[in-house]
Amino acid sequence: MQKTKGKQSILFANPPVVTGTANIGGPMEGQGLLGDYFDHLMEDNLHDLSSWEKCESYMLEQVIKTAAQKSGGDMSDIDYVFAGDLLNQLMSTHFALRSLSRPFIGLYGACSTMALSMIMGAITVDGGFANKVVGAASSHHDAAERQYRFPTELGVQRPPMAQWTVTGAGAAVIAAAGFGPRITAATIGKIVDLGVKDPNSLGPAMAPAAVDTLWQHIQDTGRQPAYYDMIFTGDLGSVGKTLVIEMMKEKGIDISDNYEDCGCMIYKEEQDAHAGASGCASSAVVFCGYIYQMMTELKLNKILLIGTGSLHSPTSYQQKESIPCIAHAVAVEI
Amino acid sequence: MQKTKGKQSILFANPPVVTGTANIGGPMEGQGLLGDYFDHLMEDNLHDLSSWEKCESYMLEQVIKTAAQKSGGDMSDIDYVFAGDLLNQLMSTHFALRSLSRPFIGLYGACSTMALSMIMGAITVDGGFANKVVGAASSHHDAAERQYRFPTELGVQRPPMAQWTVTGAGAAVIAAAGFGPRITAATIGKIVDLGVKDPNSLGPAMAPAAVDTLWQHIQDTGRQPAYYDMIFTGDLGSVGKTLVIEMMKEKGIDISDNYEDCGCMIYKEEQDAHAGASGCASSAVVFCGYIYQMMTELKLNKILLIGTGSLHSPTSYQQKESIPCIAHAVAVEI
C-alpha cells in the first residue's frame, strides 16, 4: 500500500479479523431496544462498588477479558490493548488495565474511541507488529454527567436535544488470522468545528465531522455509501442523525436507506432519553453486540462504523470556546 | 517481523527516520540548563493569550508546524498527527489540532506521551500506512498545577520531592525516508502500581514502571543497556532517577554511567524546581531539542528514550486510589 498525499484512508493489505467481541450495559441499557444483545448486564449502576468510576473500570475489565475468551484464548494471547474512556486522565481505563497487566496504549477520542481503537489495532496487526490486540471503550452515565455537566443528584432538567450517556463498555479482539468479519478500510478524521457552543447539543456539533469523514472515505476509497449494507454513526442522536442525512443530500448523496445512528438504537421512546444515547459506550455496545452478531449471522455483510467524538472539556466550555469534533470511520466486512 | 507471545517490543523492519524536530519553552525553561536548545522561547507563560490552556495550544501548534518545516516541507505533507497533553479531555491538543486541520489520533499517556506518539507514529510509517507523521506532546506548568494540585495563586508550599511541570512542547516528524536518526525499536509498557498514593511524589511512583519497561526491552531485544550511548527516562526527577539506578542494580545491571533523566536536565539548582522537571514536555523538549541535536552532530549515536507517565487523576486521588504508572521506550539510532 502506498500512502497518497492528501488521503486520510487506509485499505488494509491483509484485513485483520475481528475474532470476538464482548459488551456490557447497565439496567437502562438492558431494558432498551438492544437488551438481548449484551454479554453482561448489571442490575444497577454501581455493581456494589464504591464509585461510578470504579464501576466503569469493572465494566471495561469484564468486556476485555470476555472478548479475549470469546476469541478462543485468554488475556495472555493479547499483545496490546488500545482503549480509552471519557473521564479525566482516562481514569476508568487505567484502573481496568492495571488489573489486566497487558501492554497498553491509551487513546482519547471522546465518543469516537471505539472506532479509533479498532483502527489503531488494525494498523498494528496488519503492519505485522502484533498477532492479537484488543480495542475497547467505555462510558458511565453518572460519572460522565457529574464531570461534564451537573451531578445527577441535583436533578437539573435536561433540554430536549440532550442525549443520555450510555453506561456500558465494548471490546473487540483484532487478530492477524482467524474466523470473523474483517477490518478492510479506515478513515482517520480531522477536527471539525462549526462553532456550536452548547454542551447539551453535541449531536449537531458532531454531525459535520461525521459528514467530513464519510465524504473523505468516499473520495479516498472510491466506495459509494451504497457499497455498505449499513453505515452507522456513533452517537449523534436523532437531531444529529437528521443533520447528517441532510448534509449528505446537499452533496448529492442520499444515505437515508442504509444509515442509522447507534445513539438512536439503544433506548426505547418511553425511556425518556431525549435525543438518544451518547458516550464512548454508545457505538461500543452496539458494534460489539448487535452489529457483530448480525455480521456473524450474515444478516449484515459490509458495514461502515463512523465513531463520532466531541472533544470539548468543561474548561474549554467555561472559557467560551466552541466544540471541536472528530469522526473516525472503520469498514468491517464478512 | 513475527510477533512472539509475551514480548512487548518491536524491531522495525525499515526503521522510520526522524527527519526533523522542534521544541518551545517558557521563560523558566529558557533560563535553564538547556536554554540554548530551544527553537522558540516565550517571554512569559501566557504569550498574550487569555488562558494558560490556550497558551499550551499555541505552543503545540508552533512546534508541529516548525517540525514540519524543519523536515523540508509543511503541514500538507503530514499524513497523521499523534499527540496528547495532560489536560482533561486533551484540551490543548484538540484546540491546536483544530487550527492545523490534519488527520489526528489523540493519545493519553500522561508524561509518557512523547515516546508513545513516536512509537505509534513509527508503527504507522513502518507498516506502510503513512509517509510522514508527527508525534508531539505538551504541558504547561500553571494549567497542570491548577488541574492536578492547587491553583498557583494560592502559593501552597511544595514538598521537597515535588517536581516542576515544564511549560513547553515538542514535536518530531517521523518519515518513511529522509535524513536523520532512525527509530529502530520500541517497547510498549504495562501499567505498574506499587501503591504510592502521594501525587506530590510522582518520580518514586513512576520509577518501577520505567524499570519494568527497560527490563522488558532488554529481554525482548537482547540489547543490554551498554548498547546505548545514553538511556533517558522522561521525568522521574532526582528521587525517581536514584530509585531506577538502585532497582536496576538489584537486577545485576549498573546503568549509572549511561543513564540520565530528562527531568534532571532542564532546570538549574538555583531555579528551585525541587526534585526536577516533570510533565509531557519534560521528555518532549529534551528529546526534540538537546538529544536530537546531539544525534545529528553524531555526539550521541544510539539512545533509548523511556517516556514515563503517572496515570492518576484528581478524582482517583480523592477516591484514595494509588497511582498507576506506565513507561514506553523508543530506541533512536543514527
DSSP A175-222: ESSSSS-EEEEEEPPPPB------TT-HHHHHHHHHHHHHHHHHHHH-
Cα B28 to Cα A225: distance, rounded to the nearest angstrom = 53
Are B315 and A88 in contact (CB < 8 Å)? Answer: yes
Looking up cell 436535544, which residue turns up?
A161
Cα B39 to Cα B37: distance, rounded to the nearest angstrom = 7
Q: Which of residues 66-95 of A touch B (CB under 8 A)?
A: 76-77, 79-80, 84, 86-91, 94-95
Cα A206 to Cα A161: distance, rounded to the nearest angstrom = 13
More confident residue, A161 or A178: A178
Are A128 and B95 in contact (CB < 8 Å)? Answer: no
Cβ–Cβ < 8 Å for A95, A123: no
Looking up cell 447539551, which residue turns up?
A200
Cα A237 to Cα A218: distance, rounded to the nearest angstrom = 23
Closest by CA position to B171, among listed B90, B114, B235: B114
Cβ–Cβ < 8 Å for B134, B172: yes
- Bridging pattern class, strands A80-84 and A104-106: parallel
> In this model, does residue A169 exceed pLDDT 90?
yes
3-state secondary structure of B120: helix
Summarised one tens digit per residue, pLDDT across range B190-213 is 999 999 999 888 999 999 999 999
Are B120 and A120 in contact (CB < 8 Å)? Answer: yes
The per-residue pLDDT for A260 is 98
DSSP A156: P
Residues in chain B: 334
Instruction: For chain B, give the percent of residues with pLDDT over 70.
Output: 98
Domains of chain B listed by start with CATH number: 9-175 (3.40.47.40), 182-333 (3.40.47.40)
The per-residue pLDDT for A4 is 64
> In this model, does residue A2 exceed pLDDT 60?
no
Q: Which of residues 114-143 of A touch B (CB under 8 A)?
A: 116, 120, 123-124, 126-131
Closest partner residue to A129 (CB to CB) among B3, B80, B110 is B3
Extended beta strands in chain A, E state: 9-11, 17-25, 40-41, 80-84, 104-106, 132-139, 164-165, 168-175, 182-187, 230-233, 259-261, 277-278, 302-310, 325-333
User: B8 touching A, CB under 8 A?
Assistant: yes
Residue B212 sits at the vertex; the CA angle it makes with B211 and B215, to the nearest 5 degrees, is 80
Summarised one tens digit per residue, pLDDT across range A78-98 is 999 999 999 999 999 999 999
Cα A272 to Cα A269: distance, rounded to the nearest angstrom = 6
Q: Which of residues 233-292 of B touch A (CB under 8 A)?
A: none
Q: What is each CA distance from A105 to A240, A269, B109, B328, in whole angstroms? A: 30, 37, 7, 9
- Non-local (6+) Cβ contacts of A153 within 8 A are none
**Adjacent-strand bridge partners of A164:** A277
- Non-local (6+) Cβ contacts of A58 within 8 A are A47, A49, A96
Are B319 and A123 in contact (CB < 8 Å)? Answer: no
Are B5 and A88 in contact (CB < 8 Å)? Answer: no
Cβ–Cβ < 8 Å for A209, A189: yes
Closest partner residue to A105 (CB to CB) among B97, B188, B311 is B188
Mean pLDDT of A114-141: 98
User: B110 touching A, CB under 8 A?
Assistant: yes
Cβ–Cβ < 8 Å for B54, B209: no
3-state secondary structure of A307: strand
> In this model, does residue A121 exceed pLDDT 60?
yes
Cβ-based contacts of B54 with chain A (< 8 Å): 319
Residue A297 sits at the vertex; the CA angle it makes with A295 and A299, to the nearest 5 degrees, is 65
Interface probe, candidates A4, A86, A108, A197, chain B, greatest B C-beta count within 10 A: A108
Looking up cell 528514550, which residue turns up?
B305
Q: What is each CA distance from A194 to A71, A207, A322, B272, in whole angstroms? A: 41, 10, 8, 44
3-state secondary structure of A122: helix
User: A48 touching B, CB under 8 A?
Assistant: no
Cα B140 to Cα B106: distance, rounded to the nearest angstrom = 18
- Bridging pattern class, strands A325-333 and A302-310: antiparallel
Q: Which of residues 200-219 of A touch B (CB under 8 A)?
A: none
Are A313 and B108 in contact (CB < 8 Å)? Answer: no
Residue B149 — very low, low, confident or very high, per pLDDT cuts 50/70/90? confident
| Burial call B224-256: b when 16+ CB within 10 Å, e when fewer | ebeebebbbbbbbbbbbbbbbbebbeeeebebe
Are A190 and B106 in contact (CB < 8 Å)? Answer: no
Mean pLDDT of A113-118: 98
**Adjacent-strand bridge partners of B169:** B24, B138
Question: Which grid coordinates are listed for A219?
Answer: 473520495
The per-residue pLDDT for B3 is 62
> In this model, does residue A274 exceed pLDDT 60?
yes
Min CA distance, B237 vs chain A (Å)?
21
- Non-local (6+) Cβ contacts of B261 within 8 A are B232, B233, B234, B235, B236, B237, B238, B240, B241, B244, B276
Task: Please tell me which residue of chain A has the smallest CA distance to B102.
Answer: A190
Cβ-based contacts of B314 with chain A (< 8 Å): 88
Longest CA–CA span in chain B (Å) reads: 54
Summarised one tens digit per residue, pLDDT across range A24-53 is 999 999 999 999 999 999 999 999 999 999
Note whether ipTM > 0.85 here.
Answer: yes
Cβ–Cβ < 8 Å for B235, B261: yes
> In this model, does residue B250 exceed pLDDT 80?
yes
Cα B134 to Cα B104: distance, rounded to the nearest angstrom = 10
Cα A146 to Cα A208: distance, rounded to the nearest angstrom = 27
The mean predicted confidence, pLDDT, of chain B is 95
Mean pLDDT of A320-334: 97
Question: Which grid coordinates are listed for A68?
Answer: 479475549
Summarised one tens digit per residue, pLDDT across range B54-111 is 999 999 999 999 999 999 999 999 999 999 999 999 999 999 999 999 999 999 999 9
Cα A65 to Cα A71: distance, rounded to the nearest angstrom = 10
Question: Which grid coordinates are listed for B245?
Answer: 539506578
Residue B22 sits at the vertex; the CA angle it makes with B20 and B26, to the nearest 5 degrees, is 170
Cβ–Cβ < 8 Å for B193, B327: no
